[in-house]
Amino acid sequence: MKIKKVVCAPGKTGFFFDDQKAIKAGAKNDGAFYEGKPLTPGFKAVRQAGESISVMFILENGAIAHGDCAAVQYSGAGGRDPLFLAADFIPVIEKEIAPLYEGKEITSFREMADLVDKKISANGKKYHTAIRYGVTQACLDAVAKSQSKLMAEVIAEEYGTTISKTMIPIFSQSGDDRYLNADKMIMKQAEVLPHALFNHVETKVGLKGEKIKEYIEWLRERIIKFRPTENYKPTIHIDVYGTLGLVFNNDFEAIAKYIGEVAEVAKPFHLRVEGPVDMGEREAQIEALAAIRSAMEREGIEAEIVADEWCNTLEDIIAFSEKKAGHMAQIKTPDLGGINNAIEAVLYCKQHGMGAYLGGTCNETNRSAEVCANIAMATSPVQYLAKPGMGVDEGYMIVYNEMSRILALTK
């Protein structure tokens, strides 16, 4: 079966593009907006509406395969590609990417994904991660439709995996509404929660980290009070966006000790802390997370730290894993470009003793979340992110229901 035509449609995402540099520099919330001047190139405001591009392959039999190009909330930060705006990149897809597929036979997913993911553009670089992300989703869907299979089945067959017999634990994120949204997570029995967006020292973390401890104590008691049964024992996973490095002046021993203290507050629930420091470049970040993990292990601290910033590509994930830079790596799916890289990243982590967190961003779409749910069911990471959005209900519903459908159809 051949691909007759490639069609693009501009879209919206489930959240926003946020200028992380400006926020860390002190930009203040005003409702849903942020006040202040943007500091990252390409931004016209500290926060602006998220955009996507839906890439549709019209197949010979009239079926339509599609995927959504999307970039992370904090585009342009931590070594990532620049801001992704539909008007800028639809012409690129139509002029440079569409000819790679139009009139061509549908072969294997891996072969079709490589056409865009490994191609070098006219400026000597790979195409924007968001383009590769969405187009490879459409490739996977095209192969699945041409073979009358689920996307998860195509992945399992091509990568030699087995589709999970159970749901992958879902990690739900709260955004700034970390109290009300935590209640929603407890009600829905999210197995990992609440993210909590601790991205500002003075207002959210506390000058000595005291605000995080206060929140974790509240959350622990909230879970115990309202959990449906005592068997509900979620993992508490918070993202601190490098702020512990600011609080403790990048003293890795002190950071490890503090995480241990928070872990005691969280008991009986297990604690994960994402992004404890942001060292500004990859090698320093690897050294820092390896040092914090080593200090935690020496002290017998049972909590985990999660690599996020500067751990963006498949190559980055391999490098962090080799140096034991963290206990878990977030595979932030849009940052890896083609979804083929996300699949390989999960499998690499599992083979090399690094926890695989198949993540992404609140700034994705329902389509990218569904495609990634197929990746999760085919590769069995430790956890999968509820996305898009920060409202809990919608993102949790999308990924739960897609995994549930796969589970029912493959039993």
SS (H, E, C) the chain: CEEEEEEEEEEEEEEEEECHHHHHCCCEEECCEEECCCCCCCCCCCEEEEEEEEEEEEECCCCEEEEEECCCCCCCCCCCCCCCCHHHHHHHHHHHHHHHHCCCECCCHHHHHHHHHCCECCCCCECCHHHHHHHHHHHHHHHHHHHCCCHHHHHHHHHCCCCCCCCCCEECCCCCCCCHHHHHHHHHCCCEEEECCCCCHHHHHCCCCHHHHHHHHHHHHHHHHHCCCCCCCCEEEEECCCHHHHHCCCCHHHHHHHHHHHHHHHCCCCEEEECCECCCCHHHHHHHHHHHHHHHHHCCCCCEEEECCCCCCHHHHHHHHHCCCCCEEEECHHHHCCHHHHHHHHHHHHHCCCEEEECCCCCCCHHHHHHHHHHHHHHCCCEEECCCCCCCHHHHHHHHHHHHHHHHHHC
Token pair listed for 169:
């634990």
Q: Binding site annotation covers 239?
A: yes
Phi, psi of 218 (to 5 degrees): -60, -45
Q: Binding site annotation covers 330?
A: yes
Q: Binding site annotation covers 173?
A: yes
Token pair listed for 235:
């993992």
323 tagged catalytic? no
CB 163 within 8 A of CB 184: no
Active-site option among 332, 350, 387, 411:
332
Q: Binding site annotation covers 137?
A: no
Annotated binding site for (2S,3S)-3-methyl-L-aspartate: 173, 330
Residues tagged active-site:
332
| Binding-site entries | 173, 239, 274, 308, 330
Return binding residues for Mg(2+).
239, 274, 308
